[in-house]
Amino acid sequence: MAMTRAQAEAQAHVLAFDFTACDGHGLCAELLPELVGLDEWGYPVLHSPTVPPELLPHARRAVAACPVMALRLNRVPTPPPDRPLSRTTGTRGRTKPLLDDSPCVSDA
């Protein structure tokens, strides 16, 4: 099933840098000073990788403006809200324990 635009917008987004590609132009810090600062050499430093929904358009603009494509905006998958957490593992949908108490047997 395809995700609607509203559902995609509701997902969390995080910024990531490819520091090997970054040349330190500083456009990201100029366009998104709420989340990106610069170190003493002019390279980006993230104040917070998580992008709040109100800054998402600005983050997209900063990603598009990066001259060396070193800045990325990634969606963080969020679990569906209709499935409760499993008491066994703390994950959604998985009910088997991660580890069992059986002794290890070696064929050596």
Q: What is the pLDDT of residue 11?
A: 75
Cβ distance 59 to 51 under 8 Å? yes
Q: What is the pLDDT of residue 31?
A: 95
Phi-psi map region of 93: left, alpha, beta (phi>0 left; psi -120 to 50 alpha): left
Per-residue pLDDT of the chain (108 residues; tens, 9 = 90+): 565 665 555 678 999 999 999 999 999 999 999 999 999 999 999 999 999 999 999 999 999 999 999 999 999 876 666 655 555 555 555 455 545 555 555 555
Q: What pTM does this model have?
A: 0.62
